[in-house]
Amino acid sequence: MQDALPAFVLSSEARFKVMSVSPVQPQAPAGVPDPSDERLMLAFSQGSAEAFAELFSRYKQPLFGFFRRRLADAAQAEELTQETFLVLLRSAARYEPRALFRTYLYAVAFKILRVHRRKAIFRATFFGTQQPAKEPATRDAHDANLLVRQALGKVASMEREILLLREFEQLSYAEIADLLHLPVNTVRSRLFRARLSLRDILAAPAPLAAPANLTESEERA
């Protein structure tokens, strides 16, 4: 995806006004660990565009992957990624570090994804436009994970979402529970079922191709 947002943020004072004349600086001295996501977001909420640029650098690819695994169109995935960061930009002044930053970020992404899907269903229902596939594109012959992607499309929706959040977004059980509003034990049990289901789907033999129709002369032979 194109790295467009940081430049946009740095030149966009009309959309984001500096909240403090002395913003928290995200840069750490030599030998000191990099600042946490939460500290960077607090710095950004106080006016540090550099902090936002660092968050964008850390999460642009993970967030694009989040949308790409759930949408068939890469361009739409990139558009929703940019939209998520714009929401982050506009709501920075209201940010409160009550949870991990990435949980907050993926919660925003989920809301944007749901709105996108509702709009797609609306367009398909009332305007006759073709509804985009519910699952990511799986017909890319160059994708080494083709079979896994196809199998994921057959896993029950909630179990699939939990599996994606755990295996690809690398969220903890507690983070997934917070994000999906489920008990942690429910997340664990559904993740277990999702893994079993995926294993069984991948282990199932591929259906045999239907034989081609014989011509009349071949049938008499």
Q: What is the mean pLDDT of residues 90-103?
A: 85
* Integer Cα distance of 68 and 85 in angstroms: 16
Kindly list the structural domains of the chain, giving each domain's residue range(s) and its CATH number in brackets, ordered by start. Answer: 1-133 (1.10.1740.10), 138-206 (1.10.10.10)
Single out the residue of 12, 28, 105, 93 nearest to residue 59, CA to CA. 105
Give the HSE-up count for residue 108: Cα atoms under 13 Å, Cβ half-sphere.
21
Q: What is the mean pLDDT of residues 24-37?
A: 63
Q: Residue 17 has what pLDDT?
A: 41
Q: What is the mean pLDDT of residues 103-107?
A: 93
**Phi, psi of 23, rounded to the nearest 5 degrees:** -65, 155
CB atoms within 10 A of CB 105: 22
Q: What is the mean pLDDT of residues 34-43?
A: 91
* Integer Cα distance of 165 and 66 in angstroms: 8
Mean pLDDT of all residues belonging to the chain: 77
Q: Token digits for 119? A: 């709009």
- pLDDT tens-digit series, residues 157-172: 899 999 999 988 889 9
Confidence label for 108 from pLDDT (cuts 50, 70 and 90): very high
Calculate ∠ Cα 169-206-68, nearest 5°.
Answer: 25
Q: Token digits for 212? A: 């081609």
DSSP-derived letter for residue 181 is T
Which runs of consecutive H residues, i.e. helices, occur in 127-172? 146-152, 157-167
Q: Residue 212 has what pLDDT?
A: 53
